[in-house]
Every structure is written in C-alpha cells, then in structure tokens.
Amino acid sequence: MSLDRLWAGWRSAYVGGGDPGDPPPGVGSVFTRILASGRPDEETHVVHRGATVFAILNRFPYGSGHLLVMPYREVVDLEALTGDEHRELWATVVDAVRTVKAAYHPDGVNVGANLGAAAGAGVPDHVHVHVLPRWAADTNVMTAVAETRVLPEALPATWAKLRAAWPVP
C-alpha cells in the first residue's frame, strides 16, 4: 500500500508563517498593513473598496470564494462602528452574498462574525464578517482526517471571478 500525496504548495506560506508578499510586521492588524502596503488590489486580493468598508479574500479560506468584509478603521467590536460604517458594512455583506451567488452558484452561503479570540476570531483586533459559498456536498474526510482543505482554484482566479461579479453601484 502506498501513501498518496496531495500537493498544495501555495499553502506553504501558511505552514511557514508567511511569504515575501506579506505585509511587513508593524502597527495594526494584518488587514491594516495590507491596506497600507500600497500594493495593487490584484496582489492583495481586495475585491471591493467602499467609502468606509472593504471586502478582501480570506487568504486561508474554508472554500473558494471566501470573502471578508470589514471597516477600514480597526474596530474590535460591532458596537464600536459608526452609523456610516454599520450601514455600509451590512450593505457590503449583502453585495458580497450577491457576488458569491453570481460567481459560484452555491447551494447556500455562510455569513458570520467571530467576535473576540474566545469566539474563534483569527484577527480579533479588526472586526470582520465572513461570507462564503457552500455546497450540499462540500464536506469531506480531508478536513477531519488530514486537517487539510482542498480548494479547486488559486486565489488570483477567485479574485478575478469575484471582482468581475461584484455589483456595480
């Protein structure tokens, strides 16, 4: 019996703790540093920029099309959002849902926020809302047995698909 291998080399940055394209360590959340990097949206995977809120691909997604929607301003709690940020955040979440539906035609969509480290927030200092397409059969033994997620497309392809499907204001 031989051991099969699944190559997912693009995930080496996750295992190794980063790659040369990562924003430099510094003040602020990883999202703030990405925005301050000056790199183009195509490289940073920013899908949409609004007045107070933006949408970016999750760099280590649960599945293809996994978006994060958040204010530019680092805010820990939803209740700390200004009225304008609150309105635009939820309007952008709705646009993100429309976008993943148009781009991927999923069976459903997960929308959620993990508020605080104890709730599972990977970046607890910058509130963000997850929007990701789901399919009836998108669970498999890879995650449970091998702690591995299998994604059918690379992030640049996902970015291009979602950017093209984003609703025009």
Q: Which of 2-16, 29-43, 104-118, 142-156 has the lowest mean pLDDT?
A: 2-16
DSSP for residue 43: H
pTM of the model: 0.80
Q: Which of 48, 126, 128, 130 is catalytic?
A: 128
Averaged pLDDT for residues 129-144: 74
The token pair at 141 is: 């033994």
Q: How far apart are CA 46 and CA 136, in angstroms?
A: 28
Residue 9 is predicted with a pLDDT of: 53
Banded model confidence at residue 133, pLDDT cuts 50, 70, 90: very high
Domains and CATH numbers, the chain: 52-165 (3.30.428.10)
Rama region for 82: left / alpha / beta (φ>0; ψ in -120 to 50; rest): beta
| 66 is an active site residue | no
Q: Which of 15-29, 33-47, 67-81, 122-136 has the lowest mean pLDDT?
A: 15-29
Residue 24 is predicted with a pLDDT of: 59
Tell me: the pLDDT tens digits for 6-15? 555 555 554 4
Tell me: the pLDDT tens digits for 46-82? 999 999 999 999 988 888 899 999 999 999 999 999 9
Question: DSSP of 55-74, one letter per residue?
Answer: EEE-SS-SSTT-EEEEESS-
3-state helix, strand, coil in the chain (%, to 5): 40, 15, 45
Please answer whether residues 100 and 131 qualify as being in contact, where contact means their C-beta atoms are separated by less than 8 angstroms: yes
Residue 141 is predicted with a pLDDT of: 45
Question: Which alpha helices (DSSP H) does the chain contain, by range?
Answer: 12-16, 30-36, 41-44, 83-104, 141-146, 155-165
Using the CB atoms, write b or e for 81-109: b if 16+ within 10 Å. beeebbebbeebbebbbebbeebbebeeb
